[in-house]
Amino acid sequence: MSRRVLVLNGPNLGRLGSREPDVYGATSYAGLVETCRALGEQLGLDVEVRETNDEAELIRWLHEAADGAIPVVLNPGAFTHYSYAMRDAAAQKTAPLIEVHISNPYARETFRHTSVVAAVATATIAGFGLGSYRLALRALADELAP
């Protein structure tokens, strides 16, 4: 039996492949979904990947994860830097929650240097492109191992 994991993505992540490929790479969002699902299967995880541009929807998903003790890989996108509501929802976690970023926020504009979710996340992985998601899923598999 595999363990359910949610991979939650915030605004503009659905535009991967066309949005600033020099920063976010050329892989499409569909490619990200396939990468996460395939690796999850190898690791014994049932990975469900979601994306939204709606802060309220992301908060509802975080509540769903907390209520179900579901581990989360979270790329909050721009919500990272200012959404205290999303941060408060993430703080309610009842299973590991790993914050991920495709780029390294600290190597970019100053406003990206602050993450309101980092202090409540189990860990943060950033700067490895889509590899950030792969590293997060591997870390979750290790954390969830009996």
Instruction: Return the amino acid letter for 104.
Output: N
Q: Is 142 annotated as a binding residue?
A: no
Q: Which residue in the list 24, 29, 63, 106 is annotated as catalytic?
A: 24
133 has catalytic annotation = no
Q: What string of DSSP letters covers the chain?
A: -PEEEEEEE-TTGGGTTTS-HHHH-S--HHHHHHHHHHHHHHHTEEEEEEE-S-HHHHHHHHHHHHHHT--EEEE-GGGGGT-HHHHHHHHT-SS-EEEEESS-GGGS-GGGG--SSGGGSSEEEESSTTHHHHHHHHHHHHHH--
Q: Is 112 annotated as a binding residue?
A: yes
Q: Is 98 annotated as a binding residue?
A: no
84 has catalytic annotation = no
Q: Is 75 annotated as a binding residue?
A: yes
Closest CA to 51 of 81, 21, 31, 25: 31
Q: Which residue in the list 101, 106, 113, 133 is annotated as catalytic?
A: 101
Q: Is 88 annotated as a binding residue?
A: yes
Q: Which residues are known binding-site members?
A: 75, 81, 88, 102-103, 112
- Residues belonging to the binding site for substrate are 75, 81, 88, 102-103, 112
Active site residues per annotation: 24, 101
